[in-house]
Structure 1
Amino acid sequence: MQQLDESLEDEELALLDDLLLEYGTERENGYNILSLSELDGLLTAILSSPELVAPNQWLPAIFDENAQESIPDENTFNLLLSLIFRHYNDVIQRLNSPLFYAYFDEGIDDFVILDSWCSGYIFGAKVSGWGNLPNKIQGQYDLIRSFAYFKGDDLNLDDHPSAKETQERAAKVEQAVMAIYQYFLTLRNR
């Protein structure tokens, strides 16, 4: 059994992605965590929060109250929880490294898909109860929110960015994430 502080291997990341799709809770409002990218965004926001967010506050964002019953066996349930917590610890390490990177979905030809990660991040901020943000970081949050998608949002079907443009947008999102994280980290350390 892997230790909780060990980063997930590529095969484990793929397994986590598959298990989330199979056992994550799909909600009518579109706030879902059904992929690795959405989970990575959710956990990044939770770990960036001004206050510590306990697992019993954010795990229901992934599963409903019947999660243990809907997963066929205890071993699968425990494996899924282990993968989630190892990924949680990996997000902590990435946020505290000199160069943060997000697990964005990728399309063909180096096209970066931002909406699922950004949606997970916005959901994480909601779960964490961020509320109104100071002007200093509101623009950073708004940038991330601009790439998120939830049921009922209007899609901009005229926006057809190139792969290079999506990579540039991804870099801006990662910079915004770090600005928010550093801002709240400074407050927590006071």
Structure 2
Amino acid sequence: MNSPITDQELDKLGELLFKYGNDDAILDISELDGFVNALCSSPRLVPPSEWIPEVSGGKLPRFRSKAEAQRYTDLLIKFYNTVVVMLGEATDGLDLLFEVRDTPEGEIVVLEEWCFGYMRGVRLGQWSKLPARLQKYLDAIAMHGLEENFSVLDKMSLEQHQATVPLVVDAVHVLYLHQRQQQLG
């Protein structure tokens, strides 16, 4: 088995995302994590030839060297593999890479970038309609991952917003388990 991506490699990947990103690209690790979690939970296997250009905003960037292009691709694949293993081994919790900000009220978890990435992965993975009992889980993620829900988020207190964090984590786990069960049929 390959080793999980290291913190140093995550930092390098974050630099490369930003360096080679554009207005349509995934520019940070939190959004990438949401995106990859959705791909790993997708009803169909989305090949790297589809999802890597999506990370880059629709097409592969013009890299400064072949070595940097290879490093970019290798880190993306290693990140994907790390998420696959994390989801498959999770029994009581997931290690999702939400952004955390220090505020005068203390640390807060920022869900929006991560959830935007997840919903982007749902679209690319061409998720079919979920059974009614599972739709609430995707809705918990979509609450933070779709612009159409901003008005609802704006009305939430900080406490209400932070109370949704465990709902999103639970949703990711439930949706992954459902899709895996569907594939095993």
Give the alignment's TM-score, normalised by structure 1: 0.85
Give deviations 1:96-129, integer Å, cap 9, x for gaps: 1223221101101321110000000000000011
Q: Does the CA contact (< 8 Å) of 1:25 and 1:62 recur in 2?
A: no
| Cα 1:131–1:187 shift into 2, 3 Å | closer
Partner of 2:184: 189
Indicate yes or no: 2:145 matched with 1:148: yes
Partner of 1:171: 166
Partner of 2:32: 39
Give deviations 1:31-52, integer Å, cap 9, x for gaps: x411101111111101101121
Partner of 1:52: 45
User: How far is 1:158 from its partner?
Assistant: 4.0
Indicate yes or no: 2:80 matched with 1:88: yes
Give deviations 1:61-116, integer Å, cap 9, x for gaps: 112465342x2111111111111111101101110122322110110132111000
User: How far is 1:169 from its partner?
Assistant: 2.3
User: How far is 1:187 from its partner?
Assistant: 0.8
CA distance in 2, matches of 1:185, 1:134: 15
Q: Which runs of 4+ in 1 moved over 6 A?
A: none
CA distance in 2, matches of 1:23, 1:149: 25
Counterpart AA for 2:34 = G
Residue identity over aligned pairs, in percent, reads: 26
> Which runs of 5 or more residues in structure 2 are unaligned?
none
Indicate yes or no: 2:16 matched with 1:22: no
Q: Does the CA contact (< 8 Å) of 2:137 and 2:171 recur in 1?
A: yes
| Cα 1:175–1:66 shift into 2, 3 Å | closer
Paired positions, count: 179
CA distance in 1, matches of 2:143, 2:23: 22
Structural mapping, 1:120-159, within 5 Å: 120-150=117-147, 154-155=150-151, 156-159=153-156
Counterpart AA for 1:120 = G
| Cα 1:153–1:86 shift into 2, 3 Å | same
> Which runs of 5 or more residues in structure 1 are unaligned?
none
Q: Does the CA contact (< 8 Å) of 1:38 and 1:119 recur in 2?
A: yes
Give deviations 1:155-178, integer Å, cap 9, x for gaps: 54343414x952x42221110011
Counterpart AA for 1:95 = L
| Cα 1:5–1:145 shift into 2, 3 Å | same
Q: Does the CA contact (< 8 Å) of 1:21 and 1:34 recur in 2?
A: yes
